[in-house]
Structure 1
């Protein structure tokens, strides 16, 4: 939605976006150049890469300020976005309050079994992913719009379109004639919009743990005239019938889950797919596909930017886990700069 924010709130958020863009586009690039100059033969092991960056850039001003500002922006997003959402509460609640008989459905489960990893506080969100009843708007219409889209976040560089990345991933699905598309970890529906646009003849189902994100996705669906089925459930236990979908799509979920949960999610994806169905995943490339300095920048988020499973993910052999889950014809490749989005796809044999 277009949140009515006052000039003070908007300028504060735009300042964070500009600072994030300067940090990633200027300071971090200077640090990368310095590291390349000092370390001509960087190590391959992730722990050794961290040690080499610490040694090479210990007193390098651009690197130190890059990390300081990155952490500051990550915290300050919510310090500024939540009050801005409160100021616009009446308009937001009106937008979220959609007719119960509108096409599609939202099924919330107050007794949903929440996995431990979901309480990790992704992205330093104040109070967690459901820490505020307007968190869907806080994250998407304020944080993403004003800060992360112009400033970049994680593997996405400043100025890159996060929606373009989603479109790129959707277009890597092998077919265009899917009848029932399932997204695991659908959040507030950004990827859902892309999937519904790319596969207009299909029915879309989104599974997500966060109630605030699902309420936002439901409102988005109604305002966009879409009939999505939205279900609150863990991605590793959707409750959907076996063999009931022909495409499972996943975008930037697996760097948010520990390895054992990732295995369980892939097993569930295999179970709900019909024979001949496809799996397509878009996420961050593993550490060996990133330059040493870039891998350390991503790994840094494990302890400092609310990404507790980033380190384990960067060292994960995701294609091997997809094969282990039973998928055939497994492929893995990068699409853009830094191999982002990183695509892993496979097929459930007929």
Structure 2
């Protein structure tokens, strides 16, 4: 939605976006160039790369200020965005309050016991993903719009379009005639919009743990004229029938879960796919596909930017998880600079 924000609130958020853009677009490249100059042959192991960066540029000004500003912005987004959302509460609640009989559906589970990892403060959100009842708006319409879209975040560099990344991932499915598409970890519906645009004849089903994100996605569905089925459930235990979808499309979920859960999610996706169906995953490239300095930048987020499973994900063999689950024709490849988005896809053979 177009949140009505005051000039003061908008200026504060745009200031954070400018800081993030300066850190990611100016300071970080300068630090990376200095590291490359000092360490022309960096180590391959992730732990050794961390030590190498610390020893080579640990006191380098651009590196220190890049990290300082990145952490500051990540925290300050919510300090500024939550009060801005509160000041627009009446308009936001009116937008979220959609007719119960509108096309599509939202099924919340009041008895849901979320996996333990869901309690982590992802992205340094204040109180967690559901720490505020307007968190969908706080994250998307304020944080993403004013700060992260212009400034970059994680593997998405300053100046790159997060929407373009989603479109690229959606287009990696090998067919165009899917009938029923599942997204695991659908969040507030950003990727759902892209999937619906790319496959307008397919029924979209989104599964997500966060109630606030699903409520936002439901409003987005109705206001956008869609017919989405939205379900509150864990990606590793969707509750959907066996062989009930013919495409699973997932965007940036796997770096948010621990390795055991990643395996369980892949196995669940294999179960719900019908024979002849496909799985397409878009996420961050593993450590060995990133330059040493870039891998350390991403790894840093494990302890400093609310990405508790980034380190384990960077060392995860996701293609092997697909193969172990029964997928065939497994492929892994990068689409853009730094191999982001990183694509892993597989096929479920017919009996």
- With the length of structure 1 as denominator, give the TM-score of the two structures: 1.00
Q: Which residue of 2 aligns with 1:262?
A: 262
Residues 1:222 and 2:204 are matched in the alignment: no
SS at match of 2:279: strand
Quick one: distance in 1 between partners of 2:252 and 2:283? 4
Measured after TM superposition, the shift of residue 113 of structure 1 is 1.6
After TM superposition, give the deviation of residue 150 of structure 1 in Å. Answer: 0.2
Kindly report which structure 2 residues correspond to 1:118-137, keeping only aligned pairs within 5 A, or say none: 118-137=118-137
Determine the structure 1 residue equivalent to 2:318.
318
On the 8 A contact 1:113/1:234 being kept in 2, the answer is no
Instruction: Give the Å deviation of 1:86.
Output: 0.2
Q: Which residue of the partner structure matches residue 61 of structure 2?
A: 61
Alignment partners' CA distance in 1, 2:270 and 2:9:
45
Aligned-partner Cα distance in 2 for 1:109–1:76: 32
- State the match for 1:110 in structure 2: 110
- Cα distance in 1, alignment partners of residues 111 and 101 from structure 2: 24
Please give the secondary structure, in 1, of the residue aligned with 2:176: coil
Residue 43 in structure 1 maps to residue 43 in structure 2:
yes
**SS across alignment from 1:239:** coil
Q: What does residue 198 of structure 1 align with?
A: 198
Task: Look up the match of 1:272.
Answer: 272
- Distance in 2 between residues matched to 1:59 and 1:198, nearest whole Å: 47
TM-score (norm 2): 0.99
Q: Counterpart in 2 of 1:29? A: 29
Return the alpha-carbon distance in structure 2 between the equivalents of residues 12 and 91 of structure 1.
20
- Structure 2 residue runs without a partner (length 5+): none
Give the Cα–Cα distance (whole angstroms) in 2 for the partners of residues 70 and 135 of structure 1. 21
Tell me by how many angstroms 1:110 deviates: 1.1
User: Are 2:329 and 1:329 equivalent residues in the alignment?
Assistant: yes
Distance 2:156 2:29 in 1: 14
TM superposition shift of 1:333: 0.1
Matched-pair contact (CA < 8 Å) for 1:173–1:278: yes
Q: Is residue 181 of structure 1 aligned with residue 181 of structure 2?
A: yes
Looking at structure 1, the residues matched to 175 and 76 of structure 2 have their Cα atoms a distance apart, in angstroms, of: 42
- Note the alpha carbon deviations across 1:120-167, whole angstroms, 9 max, x for none: 110000000000000000000000000000000000011111011000
Partner of 2:83: 83
Q: Deviations over 1:276-310 (max 9, x none)?
A: 00000000000000000000000000000000000
CA distance in 2, matches of 1:313, 1:134: 29
Secondary structure (helix, strand or coil) at the match of 2:345 reads strand
Alignment partners' CA distance in 2, 1:260 and 1:288: 21
Contact residue 207 and residue 233 of structure 1 kept, 8 A? yes
Aligned length: 350
